[in-house]
Amino acid sequence: MNIVNILEEIEKVDGEIYERLNPRRAAMKDFFNMGKKITLAAMPLALGSVFKKAYGQTTPSQISDVLNFALTLEYLEYHFYNHAVVAAPGLIPAGAPLGAITTIRDHELAHVNLLKGALGAAARAPLAYSDFDFTGKGTFPDVYSNYLTFLKVATAFEDTGVRAYKGQATVLKGNAVLTTALQIHSVEARHASHLRQMLAANGATGLKPWISLGAGGASNDTGIAAVDPIYVRENTSMQAGINIVGINGNSAITAAIAAESFDEALTKAEVLAIASLFIK
């Protein structure tokens, strides 16, 4: 199989292969020239070096750093839900609500164990319930005695988790663990949607299963000022440099619709600033 056939095969699974290699035109030219001079046996090594530059730009230490970052968030979520289920009797109504929170708790534990397994010896030291302050340093003093407060904090955690995983996807690009991270990301999004519906069913008027605009077009649609940092940039109507509002003359695409249709990422620094309120 020659280089043209190889590129054609890769294009079948990666339509952006030429875009990835385009910034390295000089390197590709050198590769073709080199191919005339080296043996067929050496071709895989030469080709591998080119694709390593295009696809393998993340170092093992960066991978461990991202996974430990995710593991910290999963510990936070697991202990938050677990304490509510086993140590705050009567907080969560019996039946469907308690079943939902218990299921979410179990999902978070599965995420913790998966990330620990993926990291192996590189995994951070385990975090216990006592390592966290789920009142947010007094911001939510009744989090384990007021069901509505509990749901609000839970929603804030899940919305943060969704945006946190998205923010690290580019770091994991080209690495097999990206698939695992995206699988967790999708489940966190489902948690967030379900919790938002539970909040709406308990008096949080106007809250949708997805993030929308807050009062006056604000990024935060929960009405809880203390969680403003979690929703920064969620009111944007610009995507890929294009204003989505009224696009192509479609008046149905309002600012709210434009904001709801796309979810924004949080940077690692932004997530750590949010989490620091709850980590001792």
Domain segments of the chain as ranges: 3-55, 60-205+267-271
Distance CA 68, CA 174 (A): 18
C-alpha 117/C-alpha 225 separation (Å) is 37
**In a 10 Å sphere around its CB, with 0-12 CB exposed, 13-18 middle and 19+ buried, how is residue 188 labelled?**
buried
Residue with tokens 């609500």: 97
pLDDT of residue 63: 87
pLDDT band at residue 167 under the 50/70/90 scheme = very high
3 state DSSP class of 249: helix
For residues 72-77, give the mean pLDDT: 98
Mean pLDDT of the chain: 84
Our measurement of the distance from residue 85's CA atom to the centroid of its chain's CA atoms, rounded to an integer in Å, reads 25
CATH of domain 60-205+267-271: 1.20.1260.10
Q: Find the DSSP H helices in 14-131.
A: 17-21, 25-35, 43-55, 60-87, 96-119
59 phi, psi to nearest 5 deg: -85, 160
Say whether pLDDT at 54 is over 70.
no
pLDDT digits (tens, 9 = 90+) for 115-145: 999 899 999 999 999 999 999 999 999 999 9
The pLDDT of residue 261: 95
Contacting residues for 34 by C-beta, under 8 A, at least 6 apart = 46
Q: Lowest mean pLDDT of 8-12, 92-96, 110-114, name the range.
A: 8-12
Q: Please state the rounded mean pLDDT for residues 257-278.
A: 95
Buried b (16+ CB within 10 A) or exposed e, 210-231: ebbbbeeeebbbbebeebebbb
What confidence tier does 195 reach under pLDDT thresholds 50, 70, 90? very high
Binned at pLDDT 50, 70 and 90, residue 35 comes out as very low
pTM summary value: 0.78
Residue in 116, 118, 138, 107 with CA at minimum distance from that of residue 72: 116
Least confidently predicted of 38-47, 215-224, 247-256: 38-47
Give the bridge partners for 238, in sequence order.
Answer: 243
Predicted local distance difference test score (pLDDT) of residue 57:
53
